Amino acid sequence: MTERAKRLIISAMVVILFAGIVVSVFLGQFSISPGELWGIIRSQFTDIEPYWTSQQEHILWTVRLPRILAACIVGLALSCAGGVYQGVFENPMAAPDFLGASSGAALGAALAIILGLGDRMITLMAFVFSLATICLVYFIGSRTRGNKTVGLVLAGLMVSALAQAGTSFIKLVADQTNELPEITYWLMGSLTGIEASEVLYAFAIVCIGCIPLLFLRWRLNILTVGEQEAETMGLRVSLVRAVSLVCATLITAAAVSISGMIGWVGLVVPHFCRKLVGNNYRYLLPASMLTGAFFLLMVDNVSRNLFPVEIPIGILTAVIGAPFFIYLITKGGESA
């Protein structure tokens, strides 16, 4: 495939994502027509006579639009992190929770819920515990003997298991009437009740993490050929790997802290994009980000519109991701 064709694919992804966002605005229990949408937007800049209800305006600005943007941000972050992890670890099965970020966030959120803290503190605790978990994994992994990458992975598995044990204990002692259902629902992953302030918080952190990754994507190509080969080409492997992992983990923590546990996105989307634009990170990373945003947006649309009772997003992504994982291991990772 030519470079021009790849650029056209990415441009088409931008258009498709924008179209998906516009269509998603009209989906929901409270209908908003295109004319009403245009009027609500115009009213923010000019004085016009309302021909829509105050309820429609409230739903648009405080419920529907924040949720749509949150789905795009979370999908973008998880997909970007997944692509980076797969390149850094040279492992097609790597995913955003590879180093225990998701497990740490779950522990923090469960602790905040059982302490009776508010929604914002649940988000903050999830974020802090996620980063703390990663710091602990780095600390242990850097002190292992032999291959540092393998040591980091093993440390991630160990710390993740400890965090999951802590979450299980909190669920055991939680009040079964209120606290346990809230913890369980958070662990399933959902964007219900997302607020604009949470969206802005996640957007800012995801931007801080994604911008360096976009600048490093040419070096990620060199990193995938192997550590020794990359060093012979003059690449500072340790520095590039460290910066990539920190940035990928940062955006993972930000995404998980506002959405709960949403798995498989970081595994499925980068592999799908490899089929479209190849393994060159110059195109793979932007493609993964755009596709991930669109994918989770569509999953969220199904979640909140398919049935009268909303289905947690984590369940739907697992339904899609598990068969794809089976395909990967039976094909021996040929798609990587």
Whether the per-residue pLDDT at 318 is higher than 70: the answer is: yes
* Residue that has been written with the tokens 């529907």 in this structure: 64
Q: What is the pLDDT of residue 328?
A: 63
Q: Give the mean pLDDT of 283-292.
A: 96
Whether the per-residue pLDDT at 287 is higher than 60: the answer is: yes
Higher pLDDT, 158 or 91: 158
Rg of the chain over all Cα atoms, to the nearest angstrom: 21
Whether the per-residue pLDDT at 33 is higher than 70: the answer is: yes
Spell out the residues 6+ positions from residue 259 whose beta carbon is closer than 8 angstroms to its own.
Answer: 70, 74, 189, 190, 191, 313
Q: List pLDDT tens digits, range 223-269.
A: 777 667 777 777 787 888 889 988 998 899 889 888 988 988 998 89
Share of the chain above pLDDT 70, in %: 96
CA 289 to chain CA centroid, nearest Å = 9
Q: Give the mean pLDDT of 8-31.
A: 94
Q: In terms of residues, how long is the chain?
A: 336
For the chain, domains (ranges, CATH) are 3-330 (1.10.3470.10)
Cα separation of 127 and 109, whole Å? 9
Q: Which long-range contacts (CB under 8 A, 24 or more apart) does 10-17 make?
A: 10/277, 10/283, 10/286, 10/287, 10/290, 13/287, 13/290, 13/291, 13/294, 14/290, 16/294, 17/72, 17/290, 17/293, 17/294, 17/297
Q: What is the pLDDT of residue 289?
A: 97
With b for 16 or more beta-carbon neighbours within 10 A and e for fewer, the 170-206 pattern comes to bbeebeeeebbebbeebbbbbbeebbeebbebbbebb
Q: Give the mean pLDDT of 181-192.
A: 89
Cα separation of 208 and 212, whole Å? 7
Q: What is the pLDDT of residue 329?
A: 65
Q: What is the pLDDT of residue 336?
A: 40
Confidence at 330, pLDDT banded by 50, 70, 90: confident
pTM of the shown model: 0.88
Whether the per-residue pLDDT at 272 is higher than 70: the answer is: yes
Higher pLDDT, 166 or 88: 166
Confidence at 142, pLDDT banded by 50, 70, 90: confident
Q: Give the mean pLDDT of 46-52.
A: 87
Dig out the tokens for 48 from the structure.
């016009």
Q: List pLDDT tens digits, range 63-82.
A: 999 999 999 999 999 999 99
Q: What is the pLDDT of residue 112?
A: 92
Instruction: Dihedral sign for Cα 60, 292, 314, 74, please.
Output: negative
Q: What is the pLDDT of residue 326?
A: 78
Share of the chain above pLDDT 90, in %: 43
